[in-house]
Amino acid sequence: MTATTVVWLEEGAAGRFVDIDDCDRLPLIREDSDLQGAIELEVNGVDLLNRVLVDDIITMWVYIASMVNDYMNGLKAMAPLPEQSILVSLKPLPRGQALMSVEGNSWRRASAADAEELLFTLRFAGNEFFDKVEALTGRFWPQARTFLNAGSEFQ
């Protein structure tokens, strides 16, 4: 199980994806502009999220954090991708498992995994993302971090 975040950096007329760990700069982020990127999430051999699902990556992580918080509080845990007709959900299964699914209008991908391991993977990647973006921009997302880390050792 792996999760990473990539951001889209424009370079002249072109651009490229860069792993958040390798970023030493980000495009100017204003209140009305998005930082484009993607979460790459593989769960038991299934690519649930990938670079095809490019979106406003900050809002995407804020929504994923809210979904984790809802899951931890026994609520319906779903997160839309901000700019697409795609829904990500996390549901508890018996024996400590969780089902994560990503669905669009005419397709669906899903995979089950150990709930604690899946949550750890999401939290680790989310905190890594927020650490880097906060260091590079000086902006902070404390509520998203509280939601992402609810009930974990990351608090």
DSSP annotation string for 126-151 = HHHHHHHHHHHH----HHHHHHHTTT
Backbone phi, then psi, for 22, in 5-degree steps? Answer: -95, 0
What residue ranges of the chain have pLDDT lower than 50? 31
pLDDT recorded at residue 11: 72
The pLDDT, as a whole number, for residue 70 is 97
Question: Rounded to whole angstroms, how far apart are CA atoms 66 and 153?
Answer: 17
Tens digit of each residue's pLDDT (9 = 90 or more) over 118-149? 999 999 999 999 999 999 888 899 999 999 99
Q: What is the pLDDT of residue 12?
A: 67
* Cα gap 91→143, rounded to integer Å: 22
Question: DSSP letter string over 25-63?
Answer: ------TT---EEEEEEEETTEEEE-TTS-EEHHHHHHH
pLDDT at residue number 87 = 96
Residue whose structure tokens are 């997160």: 79
Separation between Cα atoms, residue 151 and residue 38, nearest integer Å = 26
